[in-house]
């Protein structure tokens, strides 16, 4: 009987584990990430007021908020402003989503705080992952490792080649990244308690055309 691939609890992924699993290389820059970070959008007066209100709340409360406070009282409003779900071609945001796929002989079971994927009730083909933590490292909090592990798993679930997008949040700081094959690059921090908040929303809004472009890519030729 064939031995089942090993499985590792998602919270135990470290950056060393993920680099070894995917033979990953980190880049200082990637043209797709650089372009994504330059995304632009416009805000009407209502949208500006909405974002400024929640930014002010963040400034007052971030020190005392726990992870659920941060998620429900701030991150949810940023995602609402980004309005990623507005489409008619079958992808949407999923929250607290669990996905599974083998990666190089190891079963990866990812629990994403948020994922943008094809699917109706369950995510099928992921394009973007978001992980949220109150602090960066220590204990079970290695958000970069976990979002990369989820992105490696997504490469198996998707049956065509495209760049994957991700984000992890540490308190008020947002970091964006892309995974292209076995190469990835990560942005500098965007401070959501400052004017960076408007650029964060612009970057998130630009996911929609990128997902829709990925859906038009040819599928991989798989030899059976």
User: Domain residues of the chain, as ranges?
Assistant: 19-214
Q: Does 3 score more than 90 pLDDT?
A: no
At 167, the pLDDT band (50, 70, 90 cuts) reads: very high
pLDDT, tens only, 94-139: 999 888 888 888 888 888 899 999 988 889 889 999 998 865 444 4
Q: Which residues touch 135 (CB under 8 Å, ≥6 apart)?
A: 141, 170, 171
Angle at alpha carbon of residue 148, lines to 68 and 137, rounded to 5°? 55
Residue-level pLDDT at 224? 34
Residue-level pLDDT at 106? 86
Looking at per-residue confidence, does 90 or 19 come out higher? 19
Q: Does 220 score more than 90 pLDDT?
A: no
Q: Does 215 score more than 90 pLDDT?
A: no
Q: Which residues touch 89 (CB under 8 Å, ≥6 apart)?
A: 212, 215
What is the C-alpha to C-alpha distance for residues 186 and 30, in angstroms, rounded to an integer? 9
State the residue for tokens 């820059």. 29
Q: Does 38 score more than 80 pLDDT?
A: yes
Tell me the average pLDDT across 148-160. Answer: 86
Identity of the highest mean pLDDT range in 8-22, 44-58, 142-156, 204-218:
44-58
Of 80-84, 88-92, 186-190, 207-211, minimum mean pLDDT range:
88-92
Work out the percent of the chain whose per-residue pLDDT is above 90. Answer: 63
Of 12-26, 132-146, 170-184, minimum mean pLDDT range:
132-146
Residue-level pLDDT at 120? 87
Residue-level pLDDT at 11? 73
**Distances in whole angstroms, Cα of residue 36 to Cα of each of 80, 115, 163, 200:** 19, 18, 12, 11
pLDDT, tens only, 171-180: 999 999 999 9
Residue-level pLDDT at 94? 94
Angle between helices 15-22 and 143-157 (to 10 degrees): 30
């Amino acid at each position: 009987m064939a031995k089942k691939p090993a499985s590792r609890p998602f919270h135990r992924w470290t950056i060393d584990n993920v680099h070894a699993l995917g033979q990953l290389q980190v880049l200082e820059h990637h043209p797709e990430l650089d372009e994504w970070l330059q995304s632009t959008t416009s805000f009407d007066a209502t949208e500006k007021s909405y974002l400024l209100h929640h930014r002010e709340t963040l400034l007052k409360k971030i020190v005392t908020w726990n992870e659920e406070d941060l998620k429900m009282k701030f991150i949810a409003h940023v995602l609402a402003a980004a309005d990623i779900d507005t489409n008619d071609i079958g992808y949407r945001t999923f929250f607290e989503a669990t996905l599974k796929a083998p990666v190089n002989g190891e079963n990866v079971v990812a629990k994403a705080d948020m994922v943008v994927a094809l699917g109706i009730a369950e995510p099928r083909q992921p394009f973007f992952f978001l992980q949220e933590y109150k602090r960066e490292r220590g204990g079970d909090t290695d958000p970069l490792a976990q979002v990369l592990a989820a992105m490696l798993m997504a490469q198996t679930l998707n049956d065509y080649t495209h760049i994957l997008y991700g984000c992890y949040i540490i308190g008020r700081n947002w970091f964006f990244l892309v995974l292209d094959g076995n190469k990835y690059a990560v942005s500098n921090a965007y401070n959501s308690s400052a004017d960076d908040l408007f650029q964060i929303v612009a970057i998130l809004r630009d996911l929609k055309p990128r997902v829709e472009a990925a859906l038009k890519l040819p599928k991989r030729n798989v030899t059976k």
